[in-house]
Amino acid sequence: MIKFNNINLIYDDKVLFKDYTLNIEENEKILISGPSGCGKTSLFRLLLGFSKLDKGEIHYNNQILNKKSIRKIRSHIFYLSQDIDFRNDIVENIIKEVFEYDLNKHLKYDISQINKYMIELELDENLLSKNIIDLSGGERQRIGLLICFLLNRPILLLDEPTSALDEKMKNKVADLLIQKGKTVLIISHDEVFQRNKNYKKVELTNGNNGY
Amino acid sequence: MGTTDINALSLTYFLIFLVPFVFVCFKVKLNIVNKVIYSVVRMVIQLSFVGIYLKYIFDYNQPLINILYILIMITVATFSILNSTKLKIRNMFMPVFCSILIPVSVMLLFFNNAIISINNIFDAKYLVTIGGMLLGNSLSGNIIALDNFYSDIKKNEKIYLYSISLGGTRIQALAPFFRKSIIASINPIVASMATIGLVALPGMMSGQILGGSSPAVAIKYQIAIMLAIFFTQFFSVNLSILFSIKMGFNDFDILKTKIFN
């Protein structure tokens, strides 16, 4: 479904990937780990078209990632960044704005669905009227996951989605992600994912991926 | 009835203030003497030149020359904006030039036709002076808007990209940045409209009264010019961000770093 084909990437004068190849099948759950600065997030950024390859190709459903296909590819990907980069606003406004975006026009802003997922993620209802900046790290992560569930896109790129959650919630999220039947790429240092047999482990190393 | 002329030599009497000025700067360790002197010298030289060529422009008063003069002023303004905002001339000249040219020309035609209804709408006396005021304000507005917009995007690129990943078009993802910079750039003029006349008389009004106009005429001109300045600046900053966006981002919606100096 997703193929990184012989890619090269140099970032800040550091070779992150050299002739690196990675194949991801549909519905696969991939756990990416490795030391910081080894290129985990860069892999996500490449797939989103936020960084440019120095060499090689990325394929999605037999379609090459280029300026023509990038918007379509992005529309199939939900990305949860490590810092959950929302601008500061009231949570409800942020969610509404996401639904106004062109690529999500086919979706309906449905408060009952939001409430359902909020219960699932053990989020308090009054969080919706709070400023995102006043939320705790764990609450922000779960708001990110809430939007992830609402958008219901086939591929999930999750960068440390559970780092600020308690043990019980980490387990719950790990299971929820499996139940959803999506293709999941997850960057995490959490044991929960390491232990879980449903996640295929991909280990990146510092400076010599694909050498 | 005209204004009493100032003897050029008597302008040098201002040098008297130089002594206490330098003294104060020295005492409170204000390290700005050189900078102030540089600016004053530039002002004197620039205005002297303006005085010389404006005399010819008013004497000839040829529509084509007057229009050319406005175009040159817009070009200079564009360079000045790009210089202050550290944006590359090669990429950003056209977008910024057009975003000044369009609203300024529309407003000048409107102003001279509909507001003051003069026969020769290309009369230097109106075209050059009103145009200059519109331009000066569009210049400062554009510097604030573009500087604000691009430094904000550079600083918060992750937020912008995150909106893109969530499904926003480039315009949708940039909208919050857009709104913020437009508000920052028009805030000063909105505030000054609200307080104008309360404390200080605006320069144009004082000038007209000194030049012999009645306060009633001067006030009407002042209201007209404030509105003209406001609308011109508003549309100009909107256009300059909009046009520059076309040049500032690549096919993958990523901010091009090569647009910055």
- Domain segments of chain B: what residues? 1-61, 63-259
The SS3 of residue A79 is strand
- The pLDDT score that the predictor gives to residue A13 is 86
Q: How many inter-chain contacts (A to B, CB under 8 Å) are there?
A: 60
The rounded mean pLDDT for chain B is 94
- The pLDDT score that the predictor gives to residue A123 is 95
pLDDT digits (tens, 9 = 90+) for A77-108: 999 999 899 999 999 999 999 999 999 999 99
A137 within a domain of the structure (yes/no)? yes
CATH number of domain containing A60? 3.40.50.300
- The pLDDT score that the predictor gives to residue A111 is 94
User: A129-139 burial, b for 16+ CB within 10 Å, e for fewer?
Assistant: eeebeebeebb
Q: Which residue has the tokens 């970032």?
A: A11
- Between chains, do B166 and A75 touch, taking CB under 8 Å as contact? no
Question: Is A85 touching B (CB cutoff 8 A)?
Answer: yes
CA B134 centroid distance within chain: 7
B112 pLDDT band, cuts 50/70/90, is very high
Which residue range(s) make up the domain with A33?
Answer: 2-202
The minimal CB distance from A79 to the residues B156, B159, B165 is found for B165
- Between chains, do B158 and A85 touch, taking CB under 8 Å as contact? yes
Angle at B193 between CA B191 and CA B196, to 5 degrees: 105
- The pLDDT score that the predictor gives to residue A210 is 67
Residues of A in contact with B167 (CB under 8 A): 74-75, 98, 101-104, 151
The rounded mean pLDDT for chain A is 93
pLDDT digits (tens, 9 = 90+) for B164-208: 999 999 999 999 999 999 999 999 999 999 988 887 788 889 999
Hey, how many other C-beta atoms are within 10 angstroms of the C-beta on B177?
Answer: 21
Show the DSSP H helices in B156-257 as ranges: 157-165, 170-195, 203-210, 215-248
State whether the Cα torsion B24-B29-B34-B38 is positive or negative: negative
| Residues on B contacting A at a C-beta cutoff of 8 Å | 156, 158-159, 161-169, 172, 176, 251-254
A211 within a domain of the structure (yes/no)? no
